[in-house]
Chains A and B, each alone.
Chain A
Amino acid sequence: MENLIALLIGAPLLGAAVLLLGGRRLDKAGHWIGTLLAAVSFVIGLALFADMLGRSADDRALHQRLYTWIPVEGFQADMAFQLDQLSMTFVLLISGVGTLIHVYSIGYMEHDERRRRFFGYLNLFVAAMLLLVLADNYLLLYFGWEGVGLASYLLIGFWQHKPTAATAAKKAFLVNRVGDMGLSIAIMIMFTTFGSFAFGPVLGATGETSEGKLTAIGLMLLLAACGKSAQVPLQSWLGDAMEGPTPVSALIHAATMVTAGVYLIVRSADIFNAAPDAQLVVTVVGAVTLLFGAIVGCAKDDIKKALAGSTMSQIGYMILAAGLGPIGYVFAIMHLVTHGFFKAGLFLGAGSVMHGMNDEVDMRKYGGLRKYMPVTFITFGLGYLAIIGFPGLSGFFSKDKIIEAAFAKGGTEGWILGAVTLLGAAITAYYMTRVMLMTFFGEKRWQPDADGNPPHPHESPKTMVIPMVLLAVGSVAAGAFFEFAGFVEWLEPVTGFAHGHSPLSATTVTTATVAVMVIGVGLAYVQYGRKPVPVVAPRGSLLTRAARRDLLQDDLNHAVFVRGGTHLTRSLVYVDHTLVDGVVNGTAASVGGLSGRLRKLQNGYARSYAVSMFGGTAVLIAATLLMRAV
């Protein structure tokens, strides 16, 4: 069975190669090839999953070694894969949701003349993401990590004729580079410390390593996770990444790629377990981002950017849970999977709405769409109920567990983290209700588009509707399925699990979670359901205005890094011009002057050369005689 692992990656990689190298003759069939190969990957994933279930819990990990990637004395990197329960979960999520989004894109990108290329990029992304989760060493993981970064860049900037999209792609790439530096530094520290970067030797040797080194590795891994998963302080790219086509936002910037940071932390669980300081920083980053994203999500009028804020916030939950240690790892992954379902569903719903509304993204120009797009309304509504944690739906189970684990952290930290997660749950309910009410309820506030065509909202084609329905089913059922099918027991052999001892009983936490959700929904209803929504955004409070500008993150980056960097480079240029060039030019000028003088000796007269020969000989002989005499 283990020989199939490479095929998981190989199928979409083949698709990417065929579609991107095949040229125009594949324009007609390209989308089917891309979708088929993503589906092949999913089917292989299912087969491996069935096989894995057939073995005992301790014997489930599979390994495949293809070849030695970098054979150097004392430094060996293998092209080798590891498929354990954690990787399996990701494989099914990536290839499953990925396939659905391929199907959706067939309809969504129907009128785009570069559709074949789009599917090539999607396949490339799926292959890179699978490589990331299947690698059995950090260097190969880094390869996949950069691969998804590249695919993300290509897809955000897919509509490169729009300057905003091109800029957003560059921004995402640059911000991600900062995080990638963290990962490469972490790998370097690992290599110097453990002499290897394969998961086995590194994670198995954490017991004999100093805590300082582990903390350093942990913090660098966290930096990497912050970049890829859009966590504070590297979160600024995610909102702009919504310039890409909506299926991209659903697949990459909601369901899969942005969760790579969570994967990295959970995969490196042994390192973080042994470095409590790094763990604390992880929880703080998670908690801050959780609130940050939620607040930004409340203020955005662009439906995709509101959802992007929500993604940031939900990944904040996962990172926070991953920072809690063994009491949280499993729940981080559980929330990651349920979030994969409902957030992909929500984004696809948003794409469907935009499809019907002449690509309008401003929710203030929606309203009353539930009658015109019933299926989108129902599937989006189910995703909405799942994300706010409506009892029984998937978000309820996974988020409730994280809140419980946050309280179980213990001490003052536990109370603070618990309070933050509860507050986050309330804000989540608020902003999602706001999105729901502004889009599907209330009076019509439709505006004609730039060409003066009034929108004619209609239900989307079947290729778009079916994935939305399937994801809605997942949003509803995944949580309960995981809860009762034993997700904890499934992941425990890989990530470890410890029961937290919460100062509050499980019932109290659940009641509180539901209560804050009701409060959030109620507040949003009072504000957006009972009063008509103004088409032009009101000025808003100071916080609202700041949140509309992503809580001034871009301004901060601009002031500190862009302006600071400009000043730094200018002063360096000055030093280069005056000092370095001065020394170099001065040396050249003095050598030039000296040689100008020496040149005069070469006058071409044989007799003057003879004089210098005689003179030189005379001096030499005199010196020799003098030395003899002394």
Chain B
Amino acid sequence: MNPVNYLYLAALLFTIGAAGVLIRRNAIVVFMCVELMLNACNLAFVTFSRMHGNLDGQIIAFFTMVVAAAEVVVGLAIIVSVFRARHSASVDDASLMKL
């Protein structure tokens, strides 16, 4: 199969993720969309690795997974503690950082 199709899929996934980050208010959903964007990137990296015939892209995909795993730990912890404090997981409720 033409590897370019994988790139189209990666672009589609990334766009869905980005739209979710921008539009959805629920922090969990936003978080999931961020993961979607990361995995879209991973898919693109692996595809490029295949297309160029070297392993660089695959190695970077591993790095991305490690960073994403760490980010999930920290991010979920923040979301849980915000939810405990405010009884809400809406990102728009936490809008104190303004003048």
B5 at interface by CB-CB < 8 Å: no
CA distance A604 to B94 in the complex (A): 8
The minimal Cβ–Cβ distance linking B39 to chain A, given in whole angstroms, is 18
B52 at interface by CB-CB < 8 Å: no
* Chain A contacts for B95, CB-based, 8 A: 603-606
Which residues of A592-609 are within 8 A (CB) of B? 599, 602-607
The minimal Cβ–Cβ distance linking B99 to chain A, given in whole angstroms, is 5
Q: Find out whether the CB atom of B91 lies under 8 angstroms from the CB atom of A611.
A: no
The minimal Cβ–Cβ distance linking A419 to chain B, given in whole angstroms, is 86
* Chain B contacts for A603, CB-based, 8 A: 95, 98
The minimal Cβ–Cβ distance linking B96 to chain A, given in whole angstroms, is 6
Which one of B21, B23, B25, B99 contacts A602 once the chains associate, using CB atoms below 8 Å? Answer: B99
The minimal Cβ–Cβ distance linking B1 to chain A, given in whole angstroms, is 27
B85 at interface by CB-CB < 8 Å: no
* Chain A contacts for B92, CB-based, 8 A: 605, 607
The minimal Cβ–Cβ distance linking A192 to chain B, given in whole angstroms, is 57
* Chain A contacts for B91, CB-based, 8 A: 605-607
Q: Find out whether the CB atom of A604 lies under 8 angstroms from the CB atom of B22.
A: no
Query: Chain A interface secondary structure, helix, strand, loop or mixed?
Result: helix
Q: Find out whether the CB atom of A610 lies under 8 angstroms from the CB atom of B98.
A: no
CA distance A607 to B94 in the complex (A): 11
Which residues of B58-99 are within 8 A (CB) of A? 91-92, 94-99
The minimal Cβ–Cβ distance linking A599 to chain B, given in whole angstroms, is 5
The minimal Cβ–Cβ distance linking A175 to chain B, given in whole angstroms, is 59
CA distance A610 to B96 in the complex (A): 16
B28 at interface by CB-CB < 8 Å: no
A614 at interface by CB-CB < 8 Å: yes
* Chain A contacts for B18, CB-based, 8 A: 614
Q: Find out whether the CB atom of B98 lies under 8 angstroms from the CB atom of A614.
A: no
Which residues of A555-608 are within 8 A (CB) of B? 599, 602-607
Chain B, residues 2-39, CB within 8 Å of chain A (1/0): the string is 00000000000000001001110100000000000000
Which one of A599, A602, A607 contacts B22 once the chains associate, using CB atoms below 8 Å? Answer: A607
Q: Find out whether the CB atom of A607 lies under 8 angstroms from the CB atom of B99.
A: no
Known A604-B95, A605-B95, A610-B21; 10 more pairs at CB < 8 Å:
A602-B97, A602-B98, A602-B99, A603-B98, A604-B98, A606-B91, A606-B94, A607-B22, A607-B91, A611-B22
User: What residues of chain B have their CB less than 8 Å away from a CB belonging to chain A?
Assistant: 18, 21-23, 25, 91-92, 94-99
* 24 A–B contacts from the bound complex (CB under 8 Å): A599-B99, A602-B97, A602-B98, A602-B99, A603-B95, A604-B95, A604-B96, A604-B97, A604-B98, A605-B91, A605-B92, A605-B95, A606-B91, A606-B94, A606-B95, A607-B21, A607-B22, A607-B23, A607-B25, A607-B92, A610-B21, A611-B22, A614-B18, A614-B22
User: What residues of chain A have their CB less than 8 Å away from a CB belonging to chain B?
Assistant: 599, 602-607, 610-611, 614
Q: Which 3 pairs show the lowest CB-CB distances between chains A and B?
A: A604-B98, A604-B95, A604-B97
